Chain A
Amino acid sequence: MLPDYYEFSFPVKIISGMKAVNQLPGEMMAANARRPLIITDQGVAKAGLAQLVLDAFAETDLTIGGLYDQVPPESSTLLVNELAQLYRDKKCDCLVAVGGGSVIDTGKGVNILVTHGGNDVRDYRGAEMLKGPLNPMFVIPTTSGTGSEATNSAVIADPEKGVKMLFVSEFLLPRAAILDARLTLTLPPKLTAATALDALAHAMEAYLSIQKNPMSDAYTWQAVKLIGEYLPRVVRQPDDKEGRLALANASTMAGTAFSNSMVGCVHSLGHAAGAVGHIPHGVAIGIFLPIGLAFNSQRRESMVAELLLPLAGPEVYSNTPAPKRAARTVKAVRDLMDELHTLTGLPRTLSEAGVDREKAEAIAALAINDGSAMMNPVELTLDDARKLVEQAFEWQAA
């Protein structure tokens, strides 16, 4: 299906390899930057991953302007404003974000301020409002899920107002994303599973979105294929470097897909369940993925059916009669979740995740106001959301 009109933007250089981080100083010099501010979080620093990045600068004549390793799990506008001041005080000329979604989004926020000026990043909130490119930023993801290194958006909490601010602009995309197998090796299997399901949902929802286009479809295809092939393998063997690199690539490709073809109801429901039920994002998204696929099959049956090929492989695809392929795709996702549940204890339902049934109504009410719902192929009404949340409490055997 070729849309009448679409836009696609992905100017990020991908540097992927077993020791890809070693290319960082060279990339910096190519961008005429010599004094980075590195930001990361405590978990990354304690796992020794920040040190890996620092080691890459050995025998260069670059000066690291500073290393900030206290980014909290939820990025905040106040921290962004402070880090922008640190960047200016230390006369830095580029940013390096080493971490997951919170660290990367914090970096994006800092980059807005240090490039376009000002002391409060909230002045730049909105969609497609940034005027012109930002300073060089390099992203080194340490999880394989958010895909934030490949997305044009940042979500930063405003602690004063108690809301999450959305920033969307193609200029938020970093200059380069460095995918290094060593950076995700220490990720525990359960977290690996949850984050990879998030990436799988990014890719699959982008394929069903009303914004879908041939370019995002191509990225979806390969992301789904890599996750289907490598996720169970990595969960079984967490030190599988090839598998880790494959998942990192899949996450970035899924991020590219949904940055250009927005996600839908799985993320609306997942965001709401995460906020109301206080469960990790990847867990919530995984729970709603098969439910959302089945729900969207009413409008996107042929597309859900097509996803069976990259997810389950050519044999399963060809052995499944065409009218049953959409349902078989949903079953393949459930099979995968069953396997991950057995291997890691990953929750498959809101009940298993410890969410109280009394919170169902609040989850449904919040979900229909989530921005992702807009790009879903089927209108997500309150009644629909209630039914889908109800389904999420019970495991439907594959």
Chain B
Amino acid sequence: MISKENYPDIQPGKKPVKRAVNKTFLFVLGRALQSLSKHDPLIQHEVQSWPENFTLMMKVRPNGGSVALTRTDGGRLIYRGASFDEAKADVVIFLKDVEGAFDLLTGQLGIDMGYARHCMCARGDLSNTVSVVRVLNITQAYLFPRLLARRLMKRLPPIPWGRRWGLRLKAYLLGIPFGI
């Protein structure tokens, strides 16, 4: 006879390394976006089309880390940290699971393909989605080597060599570690 005593509950396992990597990359992404939005004309052009005080949040479900950014009056992005109140964000992009988030955040999967593969879902008004994706692609073009970035997007954004290296160094040396 089948007895429930022989079938205990099974709790899901943990993937602490991937969770930690995801949280780190979300932090890097947030700080990089804040830094780049001060100087990169392509990002500035996109962000200016977003509503004022628009807050975008990305969150790995269920508790795998998050990042929030708010568009300020001047058309720049401000990093709002990793514990922003989800209910106050205008658009929340949920990365459905730790593995998909890992692939997306570490540059193994492009944003377009991530969406095509249903790695993410979203709450809120999606009318800015394409612009948000362009901003994420531009950011990846700064953060990742050209060879890797080329695999992640259909076409690399037109960033001149000098600006790419200048803003990349600034983001890595000042923007990401110090929020400058």
Shortest distance in angstroms between A193's beta carbon and chain B's nearest beta carbon? Answer: 30
Does B126 sit at the interface, judged by CB under 8 A?
yes
Decide yes or no whether B4 CB sits under 8 A from chain A. Answer: no
Tell me the interface secondary structure of chain A in the complex.
loop
Contact B125 A165 (CB under 8 A): yes
A378 touches B154 (CB 8 A): yes
B8 at the interface (CB under 8 A from A): no
Partner of B130, one of A209, A210, A371: A371
Interface size bracket, B side = 20 to 34
A126 and B124: CB pair below 8 A? Answer: yes
**In the bound complex, do residue A374 and residue B130 qualify as a contact, i.e. CB atoms below 8 Å apart?**
yes
**Interface residue A51 (Cβ < 8 Å from any Cβ of B):** no
Considering residues B120, B133, B154, which has the most beta carbons from chain A within 10 angstroms of its beta carbon?
B154
Interchain CB contact under 8 A, A370 and B116: no
A129 within 8 A of B: yes
Q: B73-129: which residues lie under 8 A (CB-CB) from chain A?
A: 112-113, 115-118, 120-129
**Which residues of the other chain, B, contact A381 by a CB distance below 8 angstroms?**
155
1/0 contact trace for A190-219 toward B, CB 8 Å?
Answer: 000000000000000000011100000000
Contact B117 A6 (CB under 8 A): yes
- 1/0 per residue, CB under 8 A from A, across B50-62: the answer is 0000000000000
Q: In the complex where A371-B129, A371-B130 touch, is A379 in contact with B124 (Cβ < 8 A)?
A: no
Report chain A residues within 8 Å CB of B128: 369
- CB contacts (< 8 Å) of A128 on chain B: these are 118, 121-122
Question: A374 with B115: in contact, given A129-B123, A166-B126 (CB under 8 Å)?
Answer: yes
* A-B contact number at CB 8 A: 61
Check if A129 sits within 8 Å of B130, measured CB to CB: no
* Distance (whole angstroms) from the CB of A9 to the closest CB of chain B: 10
Question: Complex formed: what's the CA distance from A164 to B128 in Å?
Answer: 12
Known contacts: A378-B154, A381-B155. The answer to whether A210 contacts B113 by CB under 8 A is yes
Residues in B whose Cβ lies below 8 Å from that of A262: 116
Q: CB within 8 A of A125: which of B113, B115, B121, B126? A: B126
> Whole-angstrom distance between the alpha carbons of A166 and B144 in the complex?
32
Chain B's closest residue to A262 (CB) is B116
When the two chains form their complex, are residues A210 and B116 in contact, meaning their CB atoms are under 8 A apart? yes
With A6-B117, A379-B155, A381-B155 already in contact, the answer to whether A374 and B126 are too (CB < 8 A) is no
In the complex, are the beta carbons of A7 and B118 less than 8 A apart?
yes
Report how far A127 CA is from B126 CA in the complex, Å: 8
In the bound assembly, the distance between CA atoms of A126 and B89 in angstroms comes to 13
Q: How far is the CB of B20 from chain A (nearest CB, A)?
A: 25
**Considering the complex, which residues of chain B in the window 111-170 have a beta carbon less than 8 Å from any beta carbon of chain A?**
112-113, 115-118, 120-131, 133, 153-155
- CB-CB contacts of A369-397 with B at 8 A, as 1s and 0s? 11101110111010000000000000000
Q: Which of A5, A209, A374 contacts B129 (CB 8 A)?
A: A374
Q: Is A1 an interface residue (CB 8 A)?
A: no
A211 to B153, CA, bound (A): 14
B122 A127 Cβ-Cβ under 8 A: yes
Is A369's CB under 8 angstroms from B130's CB? Answer: yes
Do A373 and B123 form a contact, CB below 8 Å, given A5-B117, A210-B113, A379-B154? Answer: no
Nearest-neighbor residue (CB-CB) of A261 within chain B: B116
* Bound-complex Cα distance A313 to B85 (A): 57
Chain B residues positioned under 8 Å from A211 (CB to CB): 116
Q: Does A163 contact B (CB under 8 A)?
A: yes
Q: Are A126 and B154 in contact (CB under 8 A)?
A: no
- CB-nearest residue of chain B to A129: B123
A337 beta carbon closer than 8 Å to chain B: no
Judge whether A163 and B127 touch: CB under 8 Å. yes
**Closest chain A residue to B133 by CB distance?**
A374
Shortest CB distance A59–B (Å)? 45
- Chain B residues in the interface with A (C-beta under 8 A): 49, 112-113, 115-118, 120-131, 133, 153-155
17 contacts between A and B (CB under 8 A): A5-B117, A125-B124, A126-B121, A126-B123, A129-B121, A163-B125, A163-B127, A209-B116, A210-B116, A368-B130, A369-B130, A374-B129, A374-B130, A375-B112, A375-B116, A378-B155, A379-B153
Besides A126-B124, A371-B126, A373-B130, 14 other A-B contacts (C-beta < 8 A): A7-B117, A7-B118, A125-B126, A126-B122, A126-B126, A127-B122, A166-B127, A210-B113, A369-B131, A374-B112, A374-B129, A375-B115, A377-B154, A379-B155
